[in-house]
Every structure is written in C-alpha cells, then in structure tokens.
Amino acid sequence: MSGMSFNSENNFYYSPMAYTARCSSVVPSPTPIVRPNGMYKSSGDSLPQFQPTRKLDYELELAFFISNPVPSGTIVSPESAEEHIFGYVLMNDWSARDIQMYESLPVGPLNCKAFGTTISPWVVMPEALAHARTEPRNQRARKDQIPAHLKQDNLSQSTYEITCHAFLQRSGSEVAKPVSTSSTAHMFWSPGQLLAHRASTGCGLLTGELIGLGTVSSPEELWPDKSLERRGCLFEITNDGKEDVNINDIGGRWLEDGDIVVLEAWAPGDDGVKIGFGKVSGRVLPETSSSMLKTTNKNGTHI
Amino acid sequence: MSGMSFNSENNFYYSPMAYTARCSSVVPSPTPIVRPNGMYKSSGDSLPQFQPTRKLDYELELAFFISNPVPSGTIVSPESAEEHIFGYVLMNDWSARDIQMYESLPVGPLNCKAFGTTISPWVVMPEALAHARTEPRNQRARKDQIPAHLKQDNLSQSTYEITCHAFLQRSGSEVAKPVSTSSTAHMFWSPGQLLAHRASTGCGLLTGELIGLGTVSSPEELWPDKSLERRGCLFEITNDGKEDVNINDIGGRWLEDGDIVVLEAWAPGDDGVKIGFGKVSGRVLPETSSSMLKTTNKNGTHI
C-alpha cells in the first residue's frame, strides 16, 4: 500500500511522491484506534524517548484496490492503468506527526503510519463513478512539466469530482461537527498516473494492493468560501500544531482521547442521485501503558 | 518488508531507522536485474526526467522471514521476538541512488528500491546458527541510550557472527573478484530489537513478512585490515560516487550493464563446519527503452 502525500515540495509536481506502508494495520470502519507509542523527542526530553504520540492526526484520503495484476517487467500507461483498478474506498490514514518527524530522515515514515488505516465499508466501482469524471484541476497549468510516462491522453476525464467531508465528535459532545470539506478534483495527480508511476520500474502490482491517493485538500485559490475549512488533516489545518483548530467550537491542535473522527464522501450519480462510500469512523482510545501491553510467550499466545 | 538502513544519523542509535518496501519485486537468485527507469535530475537536466538510473548499486544484507505471526495490538520484547523468526536469508537490496536522492524528501524510498530484491536459495534456521551467536559489537558503548522497549536481556547472545563477502564479475572478466568482507556482528541492532521496534505500535506482523537488517558494513575501528574493503555497498565504498572503487582492478563508481554481483555468507557451525546460504547472484541487464517496454491491454496481457 502506498499513501500518496500532497506537499509543497517542487518534486511533487514532476512525479508523485509516496511511501509504502503495511497491510497488517489496515482495518474496517469503525475499528477503534489506540494512541500509539513511538520514538521522538518532546520539548523536555534530552534524548528521544519511546512515548505516546501527542500529535495524533487523521488524513482524509481516497484509495483504490488493484484487481487485475500488473505483471513484473511491465509498465502501464495512465490510460490503461484504470483497467487494473477494482474500486475505490474512502480512507483515514491515521498519522502520528511527532513520530513522523523523528522518522523523516533518512528514510521516511515507518511506525508513524503503521498503527491503523481505516477503510470504508463500501468499495465503489469505477463504473458507479462515471458521472463524477473530471479533469484534475491543478494539472493544466503545469501540463508541460509532466514526464512522458505520466502524460495522459484522456486527462479531462481522468479523475473524479467527489466531495469529501471530515467531522469530529469530541468526548462530551453528542454530535460529530463538520471540520472540513474538500474535493478530489483538486488532487494534482490522477489515479491512473499514480498507478503508472508506481509500476514504472517494472516491479509489478499484485491483486489486492491498496493504493492511497494522498490527503484530499482543496487549494485556497480554488476554494474561495472561507467559512469552510478545505484541508483534509489537522497537520495542514493547524500548520503543524502552531495554531488552534477553531472550527465549530472545536479547539485544540491534535486529536484527543475519546475523539471520534468521521469521514464521508459523495459523488454525483445519474439523475441527481448521490453515491456514497458509507461512513469511515474511528474513536481514539488512550495509549496502553507499557506495563499493560500484551506480550507474547514462546507459542505466540498472549500472556 | 522493511530494509533497515545503517547510517550516520544520530537517531539511528536510539532506534532503528527503516522503510517499508514491496513484496512483488522480491526475486530468488540468480534472477537478472533490469536497470530501472526513474525520476531524477542529471547534471545536464533543467527539470527532473524519467530516465535509466546511472547510480545502480547493490546492498549486502541479512534478512529474516516471520513464521509465527505477531497479533495486532501486541508488542514483543527483543528476547521473545526470536520466537517469531522462521529463518535467515542473504539478500541483495538493489538500489538506484540517483532516484533514491530524488525521492528522499519528504517521504523516502519508493521506486528506487522497488525493481529487484534478490534472496538466497537457502533459508537458514536460527538453530543452525547457534554457534554463531554473539553480541552486537557496537551497542555496548551506547547501552545506556537504548530505549526501554528495545533493551535486551540476552544481548551478549542476541546477534550473529556471520562473515559476508561481495564479489563483482565485470563484463569481459571470467571470474567474480572479491570486493568486500564484513561481519553481521558489527550491525548496531540485533534481529530481535529490529522486530520488537517494527511491532511496537501494535501493528501486528504477518506470516511470510521479510525484514532486512540493513547493509552489512564493518566499522573502520573494528576492521583494522586495510587491504580488505569492509563496506557492503558501492554508495559507502565510493562515498556516493565521489571516488573510484579501485579494488582488485575493478574501477568505476557504480554497477555497469553486464556486471554480475555475487554475495556469499558463512557462519561458524559445530566442529569447524561452515554454514552457508548459497550464492546470491544477479546480472545487470541494460534498461529497456521506453519504446520497447511492454504495456498491458485491457485484459492485462502483454501487447
């Protein structure tokens, strides 16, 4: 599984920048998420410590499963890439930003993204999203920079206009309050381009692989309604915890124990019908203290 | 699969730094390796280009397969970690250094390590390596910095003294000439510590996972014989291509088309017997030009 990361690095506009992640921690909604322990240095620490994350975040993402595999030694054009996509899920790529910063050099995310990745109850087929087909809005202006293996003939119909919503229900509140709204049409790369880039070494792609398209955030210039937050994770909303969230009476900078994050997404269907993915929800459970953590005995059973 | 990376970053000495990689590109010896295409900027390029790597490298590594899985939500101590290890293979984690540099920020290796990872014909059981048990040589001096989840009671018997050899047979030569010799006893972290760290978020580990222990390079202060190269990849030997190899009449800085890399490793057994892993070899084939690359049609078959 790869989570594609939207970021402001220049390289991102020449080819997708992404990391590979674990499949063992992918869970269906509404599996609770335990606040993970990991290595990082807090402000008071003289050395890095193994401790619970204090910068727990969600990431609102669209992702797809591979059905028809790509054989090793084979490359795929962005157009034909779609023939390998089984269907789409809505995904919460939970992230621990303090652990992520610690792990960022020299080889990037490891444990910071390996404690829970929640996917929607429904896998939506590309056929059901036919009415949502559109052009990736940001790519046209940079079209001349797209490398040959990612040039897409059918660019104007290569991605989807799916409106994504994130809600947060804080402990003590009885409702999940809206935090952000954004559109997958604003993601720079199309799903076909992401798949084509991932396969471009000839590595082959296997049936069942899950490929994330990156956090769905709508750029400011394409989202003039300032009353709505348009960024799909707290890292972007709070500028890495430098500002409070301050949306719908929701304060703080990161996820708290007891918080329930709910994601929804809607695509336009035939005759005004709306096509959804089901709710992607997960409640944050407090960290397990080291003394409470289960360990395994020699037979691998809990003791 | 994770490839653990030995490096000089300070964080490496507090916990292992590693990345997650693909399983679709793991191949058995002696599968040939095609020079991959990838994104990077050559000295003459004004923009990053999709082009064949010019910094093709090997990495001599030891790796292990998981047998008994680690259930989700469970952590494992470094001592009990060994009960989850099925056996060890010798591994060549082929790498494209120019693509790796391009991908390094913000999320690390993706396609630069996803075009071939060669494993040995034999998986050697931990029981067969009993006589090779030893202490990780570099850890004692930094013992007080090891975080709680990685402290290992049986540290003095936690890793292996396995002597590793890399050979290079250049096109036109009839023999594979020795390039380097190094010992797994000089890797900083023990296999149990690597497994414990990987499982420390509660992510669970699955049967069949392959975990690399990082490039086997022996530090200069523990390897006083200057007539032998002691670093397990060209990146380290040539200081990222700044110097020539210059060993046994082998010149140049990176792997050339036609080169055959051969890895061997030997562990001491009972009564002076030597235990091997079989040869890990792979020949470098020239890149496939874009016009020659196979693509798939709608049915996923080659056209």
Least confident of A205-214, B53-62, B143-152, B202-211: B143-152
Neighboring chain A residues of B23 at a CB cutoff of 8 Å: 206
Q: Quick one: average pLDDT of A72-90?
A: 96
Model pTM above 0.80: yes
Nearest chain B residue to A151, by CA:
B50
Q: What is the dihedral of CA A129, A30, A20, A163, to 10 degrees?
A: 30
CA nearest to B199 within chain A: A111
Confidence at A295, pLDDT banded by 50, 70, 90: low
Q: What confidence score (pLDDT) does residue A300 get?
A: 43
Nearest to A298 by CA among B113, B58, B83: B83
**Among A residues 165-224, those touching chain B with beta carbons less than 8 Å apart:** 197-198, 200-206
% chain A with pLDDT above 70: 92
* Residue tagged 């269906």 (tokens): A28
Q: Which of B75, B145, B300 sits opposite A295 (nearest CB)?
A: B75
Query: Does residue B28 register a pLDDT over 70?
Result: yes
Residues 6+ apart with CB under 8 A from A47: A41, B14, B145
CB A226 within 8 A of CB A216: no
Report the C-alpha gap between A74 and B194 in whole angstroms: 34
Q: Can you tell me which residue has the tokens 């193994």?
A: A50
Residues on chain B touching A106 (C-beta within 8 angstroms): 5, 7, 9, 17, 104, 108
- C-alpha to C-alpha distance for B211 and B219, rounded to whole angstroms: 22
Question: 């997958």: which residue's tokens?
Answer: A184
CA distances from B18 to A245, B105, B121 (A): 32, 15, 25
Chain B residues touching A19 at Cβ < 8 A: 19-20, 107-108, 110
Rounded Cα distance, A66 and B34, in Å: 24
Residues sharing a CB contact under 8 Å with residue A71, sequence separation 6 or more, in sequence order: A204, B296, B300, B302
Q: Which residue has the higher pLDDT, B110 or B289?
A: B110
Residue whose token pair is 């997650």: B20
Does pLDDT of A157 surpass 60?
A: yes
Pairwise CB contact (< 8 Å): A296 & B70:
yes
Cβ atoms of A170 and A256 within 8 Å: the answer is yes
Residue B80 contacts A where some CB pair is shorter than 8 Å:
yes
Longest dimension (CA), chain B: 61
The model's pLDDT over A16-48, given as tens digits with 9 standing for 90+, comes to 999 999 999 999 999 999 999 999 999 888 889
Partner-chain contact B204 A68, CB within 8 Å: no
Residues A181-205 have a mean pLDDT of 97
Residues of A in contact with B212 (CB under 8 A): none
pLDDT bin (cut points 50, 70, 90) of residue A221 is confident
Residue of B24, B107, B293 lying closest to A75 (CB–CB): B293
pLDDT value for A140:
87
CA distances (Å), origin A268, targets A246, A276, B281: 30, 9, 53
Query: Confidence class of residue B141 from pLDDT cuts 50, 70 and 90?
Result: confident
How high is the pLDDT of residue A7? 39
Which of A20, A107, A294 minimises the CB distance to B73?
A294
Nearest CA in chain A to B70: A300
Residues of A in contact with B196 (CB under 8 A): none
Bridging pattern class, strands B133-134 and B159-160: antiparallel
CA distance B107 to B114: 15
Query: Mean pLDDT throughout B25-47?
Result: 95
Cβ contacts of A75 on chain B, cutoff 8 Å: 293-295
Collapsed DSSP state (helix, strand, coil) of residue B231: coil
Chain A interface mutation, best of B107, B113, B145, B284, highest count of A Cβ atoms under 10 Å = B107
Residue among B19, B290, B302 minimizing CB distance to A148: B290
Read off the pLDDT of each residue in A75-98 and give the average, rounded to a whole number.
Answer: 97
Q: pLDDT value at position B171?
A: 87
What structural domains does chain A harbor?
11-40+52-287 (3.90.850.10)
- Does pLDDT of B297 surpass 80? no
Q: Report whether pLDDT(B9) > 70.
A: no
Rounded mean pLDDT of B250-271? Answer: 96
Determine contact, residues A207/A66, Cβ cutoff 8 Å.
yes
Q: Does A141 touch chain B (CB under 8 A)?
A: no
**Residue A206 DSSP label:** -
* B contacts of A37 (beta carbons < 8 Å): 149, 200-201
Which residue from B109, B116, B119, B58 is spatially nearest to B86, judged by alpha carbons?
B119
Residue B177, beta-bridge partner list: B168
| Span B114-141, average pLDDT | 96
What is the mean predicted confidence (pLDDT) over A259-280? 97
Averaged confidence pLDDT in chain A = 91
> Averaged over A192-219, what is the pLDDT?
97
Q: What Cα–Cα distance (Å) separates residue B178 from each residue in A94, B96, B167?
A: 47, 22, 4
ipTM of the complex: 0.92
Mean pLDDT, rounded, for B152-162: 96
- Chain-chain contact of B203 with A115 (C-beta, under 8 angstroms): yes
Minimum distance, in Å, between the CA of residue B122 and any CA atom of chain A? 23
